[in-house]
Amino acid sequence: MSQLPDTSGLLILPRLRIQNANAISSPLTHGFPAMSAFVGLMWALQRKLAPEVASGLRLHSVGVICHDHDEQVTEDGYTRAFRLTRNPVDKDGTTAAIVEEGRIHLDITLVFGVEGDLVNEADAERAALAKQIADVVAQLRVAGGSVLPPARLGRWSQPQLLPVPEDPSDRGAWFRALRRRWLPGYALVCRDDLLPSAAAASDSGANAVEAWLKLSRLNWSPPAEADPKTGKYEWQPDRKPGWIVPIPVGYGVLAEYPAGAVANARDPSVPFRFVESLYSIGQWIGPHRLQSFRELLWYADHDPSSGLYRVRNDYAPVASVN
Amino acid sequence: MSDNNLKTASVLAFERKLDPSDALFFSGNWSERTASKAWPGIALNEKSVRGTISNRLKTKDQDPTKLDAAIENPNLQTVDVAALPADADTLKVRFTLRVLGGTGTPSACNDAAYRQKLTATVATYVETHGFTELARRYAINLANGRFLWRNRIGAEQVEVQIARLIDGKADKTWTFDALALSLRGFDIDGAASASLDELAALIAGGLAGRHHLLLEISAFVRVGAGQEVFPSQELILDRGRGDKSKTLYHVNNVAGIHSQKLGNAIRTIDTWYPEAAELGPIAAEPYGSVTTQGKAYRQPKAKADFYTLLDNWMLKDKMPDKGNQHYVMAVLVRGGVFGEAG
Amino acid sequence: MTGTALDRRLQFQQAIARFLQERRDAKLEKLQADDPKRNELIAQFVPETWLDDAARRVGQIQAVTHSLKAIHPDARGSNLYRPPDQLPVRSEIGSHCLGQDFAGDVVGNAAALDVYKFLRVVVDERSLLDWMLAGDVDLKAAMSPVSAVAEAWTEAFVGLVQPRGAVATHTRGKQLFWLTGGNAADDAGFHLLAPLYASSLAHAVYLSIQETRFGELAKAARQAKREQLPHDDGYADYPNLAVQKLGGTKPQNISQLNSERRGDNYLLASLPPRWKSEAVKPPLGIESVFPRFARRDEVRRSLRALALFLASNPDPTMETRDRVDELIDAIAEELASFAAELHQALTPGWSADDRCVLPEEECLWLDPERGDPERADSDPDFHGRWLRMEWPEKIGKRFGNWLNSRLDEKLPVGSVEQRQWSRMLLLDEEWAGQLHEQRSRLNAPHYIPTRGAS
């Protein structure tokens, strides 16, 4: 299994306000764009950089801290429905088929893991470069949404390109100062470790789906005994190791075709794959609980032999302080 | 030099080039517009209304006794409403508009020959007309407050302030008396003309990719203290029983207008469709559809729709008349998925 | 022919006959006894006749596990039949998890759905379709004594799972690029991925959630919980579960299973927690925020861990020291998070309210922008005191006293005092650095640490 590439610097775009990002992240999940959408943004951004910048700065991973979010859904009742804008009108004036598109407004900080010579430039050059890149991002779609100008200037909004301190013993204090700037908020990390192991999953097929669903919900169980004072049974929900959520983590191949073999492909010059979404478990944790930037960053992984295209994250849960 | 083998790309899509934010509603007093930064947001309220029987009754319900019973038992409905407070006479509607370059460059196109032809065609258009005509019309739709929709109707005064933002600060600001500008046409002269020219030149430069352009638009609408104001209405499929029958848009409990609705108003520049003389400008849409009327004014039958015009232009080298050239470009600025996959 | 083969053939024949008879009888029931159509209908359901017709009509439908129309109702292109047990085993969750136990879906003309139902008839634990796909000779023999006819029908029926027409996707289908090479600037480094809707997986998830929401066991357990009674089983809730409508008012246009679900597609919530709730109220009318801070889950947990550790009377070694430091660190970082939430959620200047009875250093810490000169109602005196930077040490001291009291005064001497409180509490050192000039103007001392200083 692959791991995070060597990282010599971080590019930080703080407090981006994104309007109308995709809230439906896969056929089975909603509430935050898929991490693969941010990885896709990273690739689009790399391609937009001027050649002289691109050659000295390679973006290879991305982390996201969510400071605030406002999903456009109904609030009442047991289930949520999406609040849509008006129906489109078809050529005959009738209402066109409505395709439900979930929307969410986000206030996020993006942190890109980078490598390349440009991270060693002087402060002023790096600041100018970070600003230039932030201007490019402002004109891209971020997870399908538009980038709005910052609500408040000054205090949280300056983009930064920072070298990772060379001496590993300096990195702890350096990162602690950085992560405090991302408060308040929650960073998404991967918790593959909470899923049943691959071997167990292959033995008991559908139970893996059931185990995943169990992690995705509140499971209430009755106590063994009644409260001695009231005589009542106080039901409790199960305790999870933090705020864990089901997330899409990429795609698995269903059928492969060489370039040009599939009609109506967006690009006839690259290999084509029919795929399905794959899922795992993620955790939202306060950035002040991250031990290193390595725990924040997500990167793309591709395994041709099994037809796997997924995003990975090297977060390692520390033993609980209990 | 018509190329008989050229086909429309089966995958063809464009990003929108005029990208508004949602607009938010604030309240204050007309005389205190300069201090509007501190104005509070307008929150939504719920109210119960007695629904009256207004829908067409089915024949079987037309029994007079049943009708009386139905009228006597109207549904109690809950709806969202928004209004100015009793001590404020002015609504402020604020949003930003980003103008992006690269008009005519598809975000997806799976046919290299078609892409080449498209690029050449757009280049010729830009050489001949620039984005001057389109930009001027977009500028006018900002200045005349069309984006206020129903909030513009019945207003005593409407002032629109437009600022170009650079690094978050206003680099230049223009002020317009919106009610002095007609919604019916785009022939403007007089006081506003010079400001509009400046603004239009900036928008044209933004569309052509000559510079980044971010505008902040603040409209002040003097409607009178306590008056109702009109945010966007939301569409919810499969509303549950007893749910609200009208849901209005808000962001963190501040009433607002959807960005899509603003975009629709800004691109209401099409005066080149068949019935334009009587009906005035409509939004640049592939079939000239007007959602509020449930009608489409550019019918394929009449060969007036975007697809027919574009195909003629690209595939048969039949250049549309000048007005329809502007229209086709305006649809590209709007963006969308236009491919011809079977 | 062996005895077993004969048995199997009969078994298949009976299953087919039973299926046809049930359908026929259901239709006959609707007709009058003297209706001339009766004979016509009976003729249609003669196995040979019906099978021949079905083999022709099967081309109008396709059995799928992965469909395109659920991605976008206007998209037309290839749908796929990829039985889960033939997919690679993965450690992620996906269709492969379903194994042999999955619901197939059907797309195409709804009028030919009876053919699909026929192929789903189960004999000996597997569907007729599965047996045909396995080339079962007994089933062929059961369908027709003429082997060429049986072959032709089988071929037609197994076509149910074959993609129709040339392989295609659609401009409305989702298509995304994935970088497999190292360099994003190089077009050749990408693959094009077209996600299809995993219909069988979605159905399994749907059924499980339906059971959780509406199943009899769940209902009984929910009732017991409401009445605070004991019960044999638990139940579950899906917070923020969303329902997406696929196909609008015509779910049958998307697929058979979608129609069975009335177009409801369940979406599980990945939402981040929302700290910025109405719960963040200004700390008015209280003399310190530390009691409020102490109620946070993380703080309670760390405090408990620290108390337990100290109660064990560990030897005064380096390791003990590190462990204590680590636990205090966790609490102090939580303090920074707590402060950041108040900074973000409250309107600057909240601490000027008459009802605020916090000591000055807590105000300076938690309402730093009250004195910001850029603000309209800025408080210059407050700002001056903020810039003097005496408050971080005072907060550190308050924190130490509070912590020690919570731990029955067992904290090792110096373990809190040594911390660099100004670094920790400033949250954003760069922002503090930007105030350098203002500090000069106000003649405040110059010892705000900036990045790089220790």
Nearest CB among C177, C225, C330 relative to A220 is that of C225
Task: Report residue B325 as tokens.
Answer: 């050239």
Q: Which of C76, C172, C245 sits opposite B238 (nearest CB)?
A: C245
Which of A68, A83, A267 best tests the B interface by mutation, with the highest count of B CBs <10 A? A83
Instruction: Please list the residues that pair with C177 across neighbouring strands.
Output: C192
Identity of residue A3 = Q
Residues in chain C with CB shorter than 8 Å from the CB of B10 are 171
Partner residue opposite B237 with nearest CB, options A76, A100, A139: A100
Note whether A28 contacts C205, CB cutoff 8 Å: yes
SS3 for A98?
Answer: coil
pLDDT per position as a tens digit, C216-254: 999 999 999 999 998 988 999 999 999 999 988 888 889
Beta carbons of B135 and B201 less than 8 angstroms apart: yes
- Burial group, residue C409, by CB count within 10 angstroms (0-12, 13-18, 19+): exposed
Mutation target for C interface from B237, B243, B307: give the one with most C CBs within 10 A.
B237
Please, which pLDDT band fits residue B79 given cuts at 50, 70 and 90?
A: confident
Between chains, do C242 and A31 touch, taking CB under 8 Å as contact?
yes
Yes or no, beta carbons of B11 and C243 under 8 Å apart: no
What is the structure's pLDDT at B242? 55
Please say whether the beta carbons of C72 and C248 come within 8 A: no
Q: Which of A43, A184, A308 sits opposite C90 (nearest CB)?
A: A308
Cis peptide, bond prior to residue C392, ω within 30 of zero: no
Residue contact A214–C78, C-beta within 8 A = no
Beta bridge partners of B157: B222
d(CA B292, CA B290): 6
CB contact under 8 A, A86 and B260: yes
For residue B3, pLDDT beyond 60: no
Residues of C in contact with B341 (CB under 8 A): 76-77, 168, 170-172
Identify which of C188, C230, C434 has the shortest CB distance to residue A222: C230
Pairing relationship of beta strands A160-163 and C264-269 according to DSSP bridges: unpaired
3-state helix, strand, coil in chain C (%, to 5): 50, 10, 40
Chain C residues touching residue B38 (CB < 8 angstroms): 376
B232/B150 Cα distance (integer angstroms):
10
- pLDDT of residue B99 exceeding 50: yes
Q: Is C171 on the interface with B (CB under 8 A)?
A: yes
How many Å apart are CA C268 and CA A30, to the nearest integer?
6
Touching C: A residues 174-193, CB under 8 Å:
176-177, 180-181, 183-186, 188, 192
In eight-state DSSP terms, residue C409 is T
- Chain A nearest-CA distance from C194, in A, is 5
Enumerate residue ranges in chain C where pLDDT < 70.
Answer: 1-3, 275-279, 413-415, 417-418, 422-424, 427-454
Q: Does the pLDDT value for residue B200 go beyond 90?
A: yes
- For C177, name the nearest residue in chain A, comparing CA atoms only: A40
Contacts of B319 by beta carbon, 8 Å cutoff, 6+ apart:
B313, B325
State how far residue A209 is from chain C, nearest Cα, in angstroms: 7
Rounded Cα distance between B58 and B72, Å, is: 18
Neighbours of chain B (3+ CB pairs under 8 A): A, C
For B171, the 3-state DSSP assignment is strand
**Which of A36, A100, A245 is closest, CB to CB, to C269?**
A245
Select the residue of B11, B251, B261 nearest A105 (Cβ to Cβ): B251
Using the structure block, give the residue that is written with the tokens 């008991």.
A204
Helices (H), A146-267: 168-180, 198-203, 205-215
C99, A98: Cβ pair inside 8 Å? Answer: no
Distances (CA, A) of C249 to A8, B99, C85, C252: 53, 37, 34, 9
Q: Which two tokens stand for residue B205?
A: 């430069």
Which of B238, B251, B307, B340 is best to mutate for the C interface (most C CBs within 10 A)?
B238
Boundaries of every domain in chain B: 17-270
Residue-by-residue DSSP string for B99-126: E-S-TT--SEES-HHHHHHHHHHHHHHH
Whether the predicted pLDDT of B64 surpasses 90: no
pLDDT in tens, A286-301: 998 899 999 999 999 9
In angstroms, the separation between the Cα of residue A73 and the nearest Cα of chain B is: 9
Nearest residue to B177 via CA among B152, B197, B203, B151: B152
Number of CB atoms found within 10 A of residue A149's CB = 16
Residue whose C-alpha is closest to residue B133's, from B320, B284, B327: B327
Q: Judge: B212–A135 Cβ closer than 8 Å, yes or no.
A: yes
Q: Which two three-digit tokens encode residue B255? A: 């009433």
* Higher-confidence position of B189 and C170: C170
What the block records as the tokens of C247 is 């196909």
- Residue of B19, B97, B232 to mutate for A, most A C-beta atoms under 10 A: B19
Contacts of A88 in chain B (CB under 8 A): 289, 291
Q: Chains near A, with 3+ CB pairs < 8 A?
A: B, C
| Between C193 and A155, the higher pLDDT residue | C193
C244 close to B (CB below 8 A) = no
Q: How far is B167 from chain C (nearest CA, A)?
A: 17
Output the pLDDT for position C442: 47
Do B12 and C170 count as a contact with CB atoms less than 8 A apart? Answer: no
Alpha-carbon distance B286 to nearest alpha carbon in chain A (angstroms): 8
Residues B259-265 have a mean pLDDT of: 95
pLDDT of residue B36 exceeding 60, the answer is yes
CA atoms within 13 Å, Cβ hemisphere of C348: 16
Q: Which residues of C touch A158 (CB under 8 A)?
A: 430
Give the C-alpha separation, A132 to C181, whole Å. Answer: 26
**Do the chains contact at B110 and A267, CB–CB below 8 Å?**
yes
Mean pLDDT of chain B: 89
What's the CA gap between B52 and B63, in Å, rounded? 17
Q: Which pLDDT score, from 0 to 100, does residue C32 have?
A: 84
Contacts of A146 in chain B (CB under 8 A): 19, 21, 98, 259
Q: How far is A97 from chain B (nearest CA, A)?
A: 12
pLDDT confidence band for B228 (50 / 70 / 90)? very high
Closest residue to A89, CB basis, from B251, B289, B305: B289
Core vs surface per residue C277-316: b (16+ CB within 10 A) or e: eeeeebbeeeeebbeebeebebbebbbebbeebbeeeeee
| Longest alpha-carbon distance in chain A | 74
Helix B132-143 to helix B192-207 angle, to the nearest 10 degrees? 120
- C-alpha distances (whole Å) from B110 to each of A256, A264, B104, C194 are 19, 8, 15, 15
pLDDT of residue A88: 59
Residues of B in contact with A138 (CB under 8 A): 98, 212
Give A88 to chain B, closest Cα distance, Å: 7
Closest Cα of chain C to A270: distance in Å? 6
Using the Cβ of C250 and the Cβ atoms of chain B, whether some distance falls under 8 Å is answered with: no
Residue B57 contacts C where some CB pair is shorter than 8 Å: no
What is the model's pLDDT at position A71?
94
From the list C123, C160, C161, the residue with the least C-alpha distance to C143 is C123
What are the tokens at C370? 């009250």
Can you give the pLDDT at residue A27? 97
Query: A193-240, pLDDT tens digit by residue?
Result: 999 865 555 555 558 999 999 999 999 998 888 888 888 889 988 888
* Chain C hits for B337, Cβ within 8 Å: 171-172
Contact A81 B259 (CB under 8 A): no
A251 contacts in C (CB within 8 Å)?
A: 178, 193, 195
Q: Print the SS3 string covering C369-390.
A: HHHCCCCCCCCHHHHHHHHHCC
Nearest Cα neighbor of C140 from C21, C81, C55, C59 is C55
Contact B97, B142 (CB under 8 A): yes
Record the tokens describing residue A218, joined without a space. 């509140």
Residue B1: pLDDT band (50, 70, 90) is: very low
Q: In sequence order, which residues have a C-beta less than 8 Å from that of residue B174 and are 6 or more positions away?
A: B143, B161, B162, B163, B195, B198, B199
CA angle in degrees (0–180, nearest 5) for B65-B66-B70: 120
